[in-house]
């Protein structure tokens, strides 16, 4: 009969493992806190676009951010100095990039009418539309 040794951790190994877990949790809290503060600062500069708003213009620049605390968000600057942010997604299966936040780019014209959750993108001679937080086509 062969005896098998129970794989038990020593006190030093348990202490080392505990320290690593504690450091991981502290690092995770620091990262989440710093991302949350950055999102709060940008949110004050870029108001959230709502259904009961209307906007029309050519896009000057776009920045995309993905957070642990919050879902991905895009920040859009228009040529006429209007700024807004959009969270969530809209999908159009007929476009080459399905997700609205990845599809739009600088130079596109964006139209969103009051009371509508549909965003129209004009890129050159092409027209695309996205229903925010919905899948179409």
- Residues 18 and 65 grouped into a single domain: no
- Residues 70 and 132 grouped into a single domain: yes
Please give the structure tokens belonging to residue 56. 């029309």
Q: Give the torsion through C-alpha atoms of 28, 133, 57, 48, to 10 deg.
A: -50
Domain count, the chain: 2
Domain that holds residue 128: 55-136
In the chain, DSSP finds a helix count (H) and a strand count (E) of: 2, 8
pLDDT at 6: 58
How do residues 10-22 score in pLDDT, each as one tens digit?
888 888 888 999 9
Q: Distance (Å, rounded) from C-alpha 45 to C-alpha 133?
A: 23
- Residues 28 and 67 grouped into a single domain: no
Establish if 50 belongs to a structural domain: no
Please give the structure tokens belonging to residue 90. 């809209």
Its pTM stands at: 0.60
């Amino acid at each position: 009969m062969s005896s098998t040794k129970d794989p038990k951790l020593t006190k030093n190994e348990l202490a080392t493992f505990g320290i690593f877990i504690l450091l991981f949790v502290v690092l995770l809290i620091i990262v989440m806190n710093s991302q949350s503060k950055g999102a709060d600062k940008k949110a004050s500069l870029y108001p959230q676009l709502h259904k009961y708003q209307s906007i029309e213009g050519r896009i000057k620049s776009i920045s995309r951010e993905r957070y642990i605390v919050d879902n991905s968000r895009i920040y859009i600057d228009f040529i006429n100095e209007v700024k807004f942010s959009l969270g969530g997604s809209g999908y159009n299966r007929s476009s080459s990039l399905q997700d609205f936040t990845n599809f739009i780019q600088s130079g596109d014209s964006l139209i969103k009418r009051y009371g509508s959750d549909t965003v129209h993108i004009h890129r050159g001679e092409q027209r695309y539309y996205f229903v925010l937080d919905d899948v179409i086509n």
